[in-house]
Amino acid sequence: MTDAPEADLPELDDTPIARAAETALRVLAGRVGDPLPRPPHTRVLTVANQKGGVGKTTTTVNLAAALALQGAEVLVIDLDPQGNASTALGVEHHAEVPSIYDVLIEGQPLHEVVVAVEGIAGLWCAPATIDLAGAEIELVSLVARESRLAKALAAYSTWAEEHRDGRLDYVLVDCPPSLGLLTVNALVAAPEVLIPIQCEYYALEGVGQLLRNVELVKAHLNPHLHVSTVLLTMYDARTRLAAQVADEVRTHFVDTVLRTTVPRSVRISEAPSYGQTVMTYDPGSTGALSYLEAAREMALRGASTEASTVPSVPPAPSATPPSPPSAPSARAPAAPMSTASAATAVSAVSATAVSAANAMPAGSARGVEAMAAEASGTPAAGPSSAGGSAVVPEGSLEEDSHE
């Protein structure tokens, strides 16, 4: 990273284009605004939404890059067999590369698979290879199958204290579009959940089910888990629909939603094909600027207090037919998210969507419930619990029983 003095930057007029150009120069010079305040401890955020294509990966890699460019030490964990985050960060992830699969399944130390991301100081990545596609099945027979990422991260922290130049500030985990064991591992490893929501008609499809699973994991496996951040993505300011969806989301998720929205931007979607984030691909673009701003906002507000952001379990999804997203009767009063309001919120807003249960991969909701029930010693009904190995209670992470 260049360390040119401030005076090297040319003076520019105070116009939007000039400001964008100036930001671009600063990004390229490795110097974007004031450094962010360091969080008091490493913040681990799981970026989850089982709906596909809502911007999980794009948000993970660009937020991570934006945080790193503003002085933070950031690790991206690619937990999606598609390996999109690895691609976007220009990190090798062909079959022979040591990857997060080896960490989860073989128990390889995380620090042995983490690599530096080229071109952005302070940004690191644990890549995913195609092997990870089999991990959902392989994990089932392993001891403490839900806590393996948490265990690896804890060991990484200990290793980092001795071998790294300081601890990490952020860990962002990019989840696959499902609620299987990989996502459960991420939820167990992180206190914070970041939900990207696409500003489209079916925006909240499945969010109710995600919140139910967050609540289950919180109850049985990770008491610190909470939804700390919601980010509106692919916002198209020209459409009323985007504004309506954003309004709806803000009404119900209140302070959890970042003020910054990420616009729909061609530059954002082009960047991965160059193995780059938009932060380096086109640092002056609106997409890059919005992720810089979102990162700053996220860092400044810090982890929200658990009390105000705990997600709630909405009622079981009904077969309510879709209705317009802005139906006034669907709105709960704007107040901090409580169990009741969240339930109303999600069920009301998800009335715009098909049933969350229908949107789930077959059996995955029951799977999480069964896992949680097993973990707490409660017998769980249904095929996913049948024949499932007993889960070792938290804290007793012994050797693998992997065959």
Ligand X SMILES: Nc1ncnc2c1ncn2[C@@H]1O[C@H](COP(=O)(O)OP(=O)(O)OP(=O)(O)O)[C@@H](O)[C@H]1O
Q: Ramachandran region of residue 138, left (φ > 0), alpha (ψ -120 to 50) or beta?
A: alpha
Q: Which of 44, 55, 215, 253 forms a contact with ligand X (CB under 6 A)?
A: 55
DSSP string, 255-278: GGB-S--PBP-HHHHHGGGGT--H
Does 80 bind ligand X (CB under 6 A)? Our answer is: yes
Q: How many residues bind ligand X (CB under 6 A)?
A: 19
Q: Which of 46, 50, 59, 84 forms a contact with Mg ion (CB under 5 A)?
A: 84
Residues between 206 and 245 that touch ligand X (CB under 6 A): 233-234
Instruction: Report how far apart the first and last C-alpha atoms of the chain are (Å, whole number).
Output: 45
**CB pairs under 8 A, 24+ apart, for 106-113?**
106/402, 107/148, 107/400, 109/152, 109/155, 109/156, 109/159, 110/152, 110/153, 110/155, 110/156, 110/159, 111/156, 111/159, 111/160, 111/163
Stretch that binds ligand X, among 94-102, 125-133, 264-272, 300-308 (CB under 6 A): 264-272
Does 87 bind ligand X (CB under 6 A)? Our answer is: no
Q: How far apart are CA 178 and CA 194, in angstroms?
A: 15
Q: Are 71 and 35 in contact (CB under 8 A)?
A: yes
Q: Which of 145, 264, 296, 366 forms a contact with ligand X (CB under 6 A)?
A: 264
Does 56 bind Mg ion (CB under 5 A)? Our answer is: yes
Stretch that binds ligand X, among 13-21, 164-172, 263-271, 347-355 (CB under 6 A): 263-271
Does 93 bind ligand X (CB under 6 A)? Our answer is: no
- Looking at residue 324, its amino acid is P
Q: Which of 42, 46, 57, 251 forms a contact with Mg ion (CB under 5 A)?
A: 57
Does 347 bind ligand X (CB under 6 A)? Our answer is: no
Which CB, 82 or 376, lies closer to ligand X? 82
Which CB, 84 or 228, lies closer to Mg ion? 84
CB of residue 155 to ligand X, shortest distance in Å: 27
CB of residue 218 to ligand X, shortest distance in Å: 23
- Looking at residue 25, its amino acid is L
Residue ranges binding Mg ion (CB under 5 A): 56-57, 84
